[in-house]
Amino acid sequence: MKLTVQQIDEAAKRLEGVVVRTPLQLNANLSEKYDCEVYLKREDQQLVRSYKLRGAYNFMSQQTPEALSKGVVCASAGNHAQGVAYSCRVMKVKGTIFMPNTTPRQKVQQVENFGREYVEIVLIGDTFDDAFAEAEQHCTAHQKLFVHPFDQVEIMEGQGTVGKEIYEDLEEAPDYVFLPIGGGGLCAGVGSYLKKSVPTLNLIGVEPQGAASMNQSIQEGKVVRLASMDKFVDGAAVQQVGIQTFEICKRLLDGIILVPEGKACTTLLSLYSKEAIVVEPAGALSIAALDYYKEQIRGKKIVCIISGGNNDLDRLQEIKDRSLLFEGLKHYLIVRFPQRAGALKEFVNNVLGPNDNITRFEYIKRTAKESGPALVGIEFANPDDYEQLIGRMHQRGIGFTDLSETPLLFDYLV
């Protein structure tokens, strides 16, 4: 299938007065760091704090009154649900939104706030796939419209208006555009508009390393379903991309970069502390990718799409933890202490460095005759401090296991 500039232009007219034309801001700090012009497209400042409203409203606004009278249905764990909920309230259409039982209460409340009396929320299943399956069954049983998160042409048209605004707001065409990929709707829409308008553009998709479904699909030449994935970057963690979005994205993308989840966390925290910009992990992906393109973007005009700012404060400690682990500033060890009085004191006084900080300590087993293993989390001032600690442990014959080398054990204990 093809998505045309004209389709996206028409979508922009439908969205007038409904969505915010979000700012495209030159960022001085990032521009200096990468020796280029870095512009941030701030979809975190959209009415529902993500671009998802564009696609949801564009889809619903093209349906017949008869079809809408039966109500609409969607499945989502966050941003798409908020976009659909807001559209339901604006258009006075009843909506049923299926969300996993594991969805944080804060996100459920946001959907309630945006949809109010027009939306019914159904919490079901433990995963997005569970909620998605129930939503499809509900649509079939009650003959309602299904608003897909990404794989409908009207959804892609709406998301494509982000690209239209970028093109119109820049005095000169961009050389590179970095944008996150989840199911592919944003990439398909933005790419279709900008690649037609700026044929020399480099369109770079960014996926979380633990959920690289578009990258794997393009490598295999067909849509594939990931056997497993890391759901942490929930705004871009999709087990299977869309059939239609795949066909468009594989033609338009000039590259895909996979960003480790910890790297996204580091970028998220940096944006908050240095720029006072609050983003969700998926919203940090496009900026995190710049480190991998330092040479290519030097002296160029760059746009990074910040896709959303719906970050749950309850996740802040986990975000900090993942960032420190990625930067090598935190490690979790199973330390086998000798079963004798004073062993822990010796470790603290003689093994631990002056700037090393124990952030977690718990005995796993204390009944062994010779040693008592303990889970120890240690935070370091510099990554090199870890190697020095390990050297001192070897010198004193202290046995240990670094949990970063055994992911299954890490997930179980940490």
CA-derived radius of gyration, the chain: 24
What are the backbone dihedrals phi and psi of residue 353, each rounded to the nearest 5 degrees, phi first? -75, 165
What are the backbone dihedrals phi and psi of residue 97, each rounded to the nearest 5 degrees, phi first? -115, 120
Tokens of residue 109, six digits: 């409340």
CA 402 to chain centre: 28
Cβ contact 392:354 at 8 Å: no
Q: What's the angle, vertex CA 302, arms to CA 198 and CA 9, rounded to 5?
A: 40
Query: What's the number of CA atoms in the CB half-sphere (13 Å) around residue 375?
Result: 13
Residue 250 among the catalytic residues: no
Q: Which 8-state DSSP code applies to residue 43? A: G
User: Residues 52, 107, 195, 330: which is the catalytic one?
Assistant: 52
Name the burial class of residue 395, with classes exposed (0-12), middle (13-18) and buried (19+) by CB atoms within 10 angstroms of its CB: exposed
- Cα–Cα distance, 133 to 24 (Å, whole number): 37
User: Residues 213, 307, 323, 330: which is the catalytic one?
Assistant: 307
361-368 long-range contacts (CB < 8 A, ≥24 apart) are: 364/334, 364/413, 366/339, 368/339
Tokens of residue 274, six digits: 């240095």
The side-by-side arrangement of strands in the sheet containing 24-26 is: 24-26, 37-42, 301-306, 176-180, 202-208, 255-259
What are the backbone dihedrals phi and psi of residue 16, each rounded to the nearest 5 degrees, phi first? -60, 130
Q: How far apart are the first and last CA of the chain?
A: 46
Residue 307 among the catalytic residues: yes
Q: What's the angle, vertex CA 104, arms to CA 98 and CA 107, rounded to 5?
A: 65
Q: Which 8-state DSSP code applies to residue 279? A: -
Catalytic residues, by residue number, are 52, 307
